[in-house]
Amino acid sequence: MPLSAPPSATSLLAVDLEAVVENWRTLKGRLERAECAAVVKANAYGLGAAAVAPALAAAGCSTFFVALLEEGMALRPRLPGATIIALSGFLPGTEKDLAGHEIVPVLNSLDDIARWQAFARKTETVQPAWIHLDTGMNRLGLSAVDTQTLATEPDRLGGLEVKGWISHLACADLRFHPSSSAQLGRFHQQLARLPKARRSFANSSGICRGRAFHLDLVRPGAALYGINPTPETGNPMRPVFRFAGRILQVRPVDTGMTVGYGAAHVVVRPGRIATIAVGYADGYPRSLGNRGLVHIGGMPARVVGRVSMDLITVDVTDLPDSVVRPGGWAELIGPHQTVDQVAASAGTIGYEILTGLARRCHRVWLPPAKGD
């Protein structure tokens, strides 16, 4: 992946759209008859939903999940004819915009259902909805008691077209975790008492836990973007992006000198420090101070000292001068170090690293997104 960026760009996120599409096809290939949707919330996990979603649509994806109404509204003109579903954006007062932009809400409570029904009645329309049944996350969705109420009072769904029922796995990333099959069992029990509609259960990891979890529609996010959905084993997904920072300066240092805030690194031999224009404001975790690793010209260099807001310092003593040049690039995530590895060193998960990178970087898409 060539790194091409305007002269002013200090950090670069290069997204390989072909790889995203290939990951979507790989996941789809695991399904027997379920539809493969795509989760593009949080700006496609930071990679740029305006480029990612149309690329997936061109490959045949026709259902997209966002978290917020605004995310759906931004995508609507770029996804003509596609279904856009908002997972958690159904706030009072948003009904008109949802309907106007043809964004289908996920209803997460009996109150949500009543409010969407009231809107349908008021506008004399039939409104589409997905309904979320909680099966063990205890985060969003109808509780078991609410689901029972819904089952015994079907009038609550009058005026609504239930497109489907959704639930969400708590431990899909842990292989054979007993709660996954327990959740699936509860989902089936609840569905047996409710009107027939499509059923959606699996996120990226859920897809990898067997056909029983696929049901009618799967909702992968992370795996599309190259995060390993099966952390217990090798990553079946292709990496889809590189994150690089520009080398600003290379300076000699001598024994006894310290580097950066808090004098948190003490130099123990004469050497060289390269300063790279990426910091925690760019989503590079501060926890990687004195821990992180970058690659310059394919060679590893350790982060020394603290991560500042806009800068990190790396020890390039063992790298040849010819490789470490101001204006050149240091790879922070890419072929030499996956997002999951960086996350592990930082004590977090790939999801958090990826969504955090989006803040200030220059993004490029390969091949360039159509219409962008």
Ligand X SMILES: *Cc1c(COP(=O)(O)O)cnc(C)c1O
Q: Does 23 bind ligand X (CB under 6 A)?
A: no
Tell which positions 266-285 bind ligand X, by CB under 6 A: none
Catalytic residue among 96, 122, 261, 370: 261
User: Taking the complex as a whole, how short is the minimal distance between the CB of residue 101 and ligand X, in angstroms?
Assistant: 20
**Stretch touching ligand X by CB under 6 A, among 16-24, 216-224, 304-312, 316-324:** 216-224
Element (H, E) at 272: strand 271-276
Straight-line distance from the first to the last Cα atom of the chain, in angstroms, rounded to the nearest whole number: 19
* Interatomic CA distance for residues 193 and 275, integer angstroms: 62
User: Taking the complex as a whole, how short is the minimal distance between the CB of residue 261 and ligand X, in angstroms?
Assistant: 34
Catalytic residue among 41, 163, 280, 284: 41
Q: Please say which residue, 105 or 220, places its beta carbon nearer to ligand X.
A: 220
DSSP state at residue 367 = S
Q: Does 230 bind ligand X (CB under 6 A)?
A: no
User: Taking the complex as a whole, how short is the minimal distance between the CB of residue 183 and ligand X, in angstroms?
Assistant: 13
User: Taking the complex as a whole, how short is the minimal distance between the CB of residue 148 and ligand X, in angstroms?
Assistant: 22
Q: Does 221 bind ligand X (CB under 6 A)?
A: yes
Q: Does 220 bind ligand X (CB under 6 A)?
A: yes
Residue (of 257, 276, 279) closest to 268 by Cα position: 257
Please say if 122 is a catalytic residue: no
Q: What is the DSSP string of 34-102?
A: -EE-EE-HHHHHTT-HHHHHHHHHHTT--EEEESSHHHHHHHGGGSTT-EEEESS---TT-HHHHHHTT
Is-contact 104 85, C-beta < 8 A? yes
* Interatomic CA distance for residues 350 and 227, integer angstroms: 6
Residue (of 38, 45, 35) closest to 164 by Cα position: 35
User: Taking the complex as a whole, how short is the minimal distance between the CB of residue 220 and ligand X, in angstroms?
Assistant: 5
> Tokens 């962008």 appear where?
372
Q: Please say which residue, 260 or 350, places its beta carbon nearer to ligand X.
A: 350
Which residue sits closest to ligand X, CB atoms considered?
221
Q: Please say which residue, 108 or 117, places its beta carbon nearer to ligand X.
A: 108
* Interatomic CA distance for residues 288 and 357, integer angstroms: 14
* Interatomic CA distance for residues 131 and 167, integer angstroms: 9
User: Taking the complex as a whole, how short is the minimal distance between the CB of residue 146 and ligand X, in angstroms?
Assistant: 17
Q: Does 219 bind ligand X (CB under 6 A)?
A: yes
Q: Please say which residue, 133 or 276, places its beta carbon nearer to ligand X.
A: 133
Interface mask (CB under 6 A) for ligand X, residues 329-358, using x and -?
------------------------------
CA atoms within 13 A on the CB side of 175: 8
Q: Does 10 bind ligand X (CB under 6 A)?
A: no
Q: Please say which residue, 41 or 363, places its beta carbon nearer to ligand X.
A: 41
Helix (H), strand (E), coil (C) string for 167-233: CCCCCCCCCCCHHHHHHHHHHHHHHHCCCCCEEECCCHHHHCCCHHHCCCEECCCHHHHCCCCCCCC
Please say if 41 is a catalytic residue: yes
Q: Does 87 bind ligand X (CB under 6 A)?
A: yes
Residue 189 token pair: 């029990």
Q: Does 39 bind ligand X (CB under 6 A)?
A: yes
- Catalytic residue numbers, as ranges: 41, 261
Q: Where along the sequence are the contacts to ligand X (CB under 6 A)?
A: 39, 41, 87, 168, 203-205, 219-223
